[in-house]
């Protein structure tokens, strides 16, 4: 009896908290279709004009291209470095292992602002000004720990016997890696890559320090637009971002599950 009552209360609170988490973003999406010219309440009718305005906004499109390129490069570099490091940590014993693994996840233990300042000032002192390369270096170092943690967690579960079998059958270590280990850890590698891409695509804390003048990523572009005024274009941009980062992957997942279910039959 009381157990049921408290469970109902728990359910209610959970629903409220979830609503709280999603309501603000839902309002952004709702307002992006609003015909009103101020991008705010009241709702004056359905319109796609803010999306059209967005499509014609050259600065936003340029920011999208920068963000996509930066995210893709970050994902590839960070995942390559991360997989190699995770292999060393999981498959080998060596002196100083604890220190090395702590050093490798240090970028998430250090506040991002401090990391941003240190990298900016050091490279400036070396004579390397703010540039795309600095931005890329910063994003790689910041995403590396996430890739390492994800790949490491998966690699621990891959039995060494598989690799030893390949080696004993005459494959060299590199062949073994590409034909045995890599396929087995592929889900984690892809997850790490996606993780790195998303973190890079979303980053603003470090990016505002590192980006050269005139170059904007999507988040810094939104930030710059917010400083002027909250225009309905920002709401439309928010909706586009949510569709790209949430709806599309979910649809893909649903489609993949459906296809998998069909082939199983």
Partner 1 sequence: MSATADRLFDRRPWILLGPALSAVTFLLVIPVCFIVVYSFWLRTAIGTEEVGFHLDNWQLVLTDPFYRDILVQTIRIAVVSTLLCIALGYVPAYFIAYAGARHKLLLILLLMLPFWISYIIRTMSWINILGVSGAVNSALMAVGVIDEPMRMLYNEATVVAGLVHFLLPFMVLNIYVSLDGIDRNLTAAAQSLGCNGWQAFREVTLPLSLPGLAAGSLLCFVLAAGTYITPMILGGPQNAMFANLVFETIITQLNWPLGSALSLVLLVLLGAVVMAYTHFLGLDQIAKSFR
Give, as ranges, the residues between 40 and 79 that touch partner 1 (CB under 8 A): 40-42
Q: For residue 200, which of 121, 106, 132, 151 has the smallest C-alpha distance?
A: 132
Q: Pick from 69, 109, 256, 259 the residue near partner 1 by CB under 8 A.
A: 109
Residue 148's closest CA among 112, 101, 183?
101
Q: Output the CA torsion sign for 124, 126, 130, 133.
A: negative
Residue 211 bridge partners (DSSP) = none
What are the tokens at 136? 């890329």
Among 37, 52, 69, 111, indicate the residue that binds partner 1 (CB under 8 A). 111
CB of 245 to partner 1, least distance (A): 5
Q: Give 75 or 148: the residue with its C-beta nearer to partner 1.
A: 148
Nearest alpha carbon to residue 239 among 31, 94, 22, 67: 31
Q: Which of 60, 63, 70, 85 binds partner 1 (CB under 8 A)?
A: 85
In whole angstroms, give the CA distance from residue 140 to residue 131.
14
Give the whole-angstrom CA distance, residue 176 versus residue 222.
46
Q: How many binding residues for partner 1 (CB under 8 A)? A: 86
Q: How far apart are CA 3 and CA 152, in angstroms?
A: 41
Minimal distance, residue 107 CB to partner 1, in Å: 6
Q: Which of 117, 165, 255, 256 binds partner 1 (CB under 8 A)?
A: 117
Q: Does 6 bind partner 1 (CB under 8 A)?
A: yes
69 or 133: CB nearest partner 1:
133
Which residue among 60, 123, 155, 185 contacts partner 1 (CB under 8 A)? 123
**C-alpha distance from residue 17 to each of 3, 13, 27, 148 (Å):** 21, 6, 16, 32
Give residues 159-198 in contact with partner 1 (rule: CB under 8 A): 173, 198
- Considering only residues 216 to 255 of the shown chain, the ones binding partner 1 according to CB under 8 A are 218-219, 222-223, 226, 230, 234-235, 237-238, 241-242, 245-246, 249
Q: What is the DSSP string of 48-88?
A: -HHHHHHHT-HHHHHHHHHHHHHHHHHHHHHHHHHHHHHHH
Which of 119, 155, 193, 236 is in the footprint of partner 1 by CB under 8 A?
119
The residue within the footprint of partner 1, chosen from 48, 69, 100, 255 (CB under 8 A), is 100
Task: Choose one: 20-28, 53-61, 158-166, 257-265; the region binding partner 1 (CB under 8 A).
Answer: 20-28
């Amino acid at each position: 009896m009381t157990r049921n009552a408290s469970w109902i209360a728990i359910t209610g609170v959970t629903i409220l908290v979830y609503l709280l988490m999603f309501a603000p973003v839902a309002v952004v999406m709702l307002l992006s279709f609003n015909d009103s010219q101020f991008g705010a309440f009241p709702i004056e009718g359905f319109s796609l004009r803010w999306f059209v305005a967005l499509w014609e906004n050259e600065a936003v499109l340029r920011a999208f291209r920068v963000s996509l390129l930066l995210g893709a490069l970050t994902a590839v570099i960070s995942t390559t470095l991360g997989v190699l490091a995770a292999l060393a940590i999981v498959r080998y014993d060596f002196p100083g292992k604890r220190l090395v693994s702590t050093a490798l996840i240090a970028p998430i233990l250090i506040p991002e602002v401090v990391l941003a300042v240190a990298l900016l000032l050091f490279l400036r002192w070396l004579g390397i000004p703010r540039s795309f390369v600095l931005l890329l270096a910063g994003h790689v170092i910041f995403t590396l720990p996430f890739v390492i943690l994800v790949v490491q967690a998966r690699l621990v579960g891959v039995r060494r016997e598989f690799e030893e079998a390949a080696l004993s059958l005459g494959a060299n270590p590199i062949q073994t890696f590409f034909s045995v280990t890599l396929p087995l850890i592929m889900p984690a590698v892809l997850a790490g890559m996606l993780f790195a891409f998303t973190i890079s695509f979303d980053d603003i804390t470090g990016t505002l320090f590192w980006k050269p003048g005139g170059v904007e990523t999507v988040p810094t572009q939104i930030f710059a637009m917010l400083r002027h005024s909250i225009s309905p274009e920002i709401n439309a941009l928010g909706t586009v971002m949510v569709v790209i980062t949430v709806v599309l992957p979910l649809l893909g997942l649903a489609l993949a599950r459906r296809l998998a279910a069909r082939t199983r039959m």
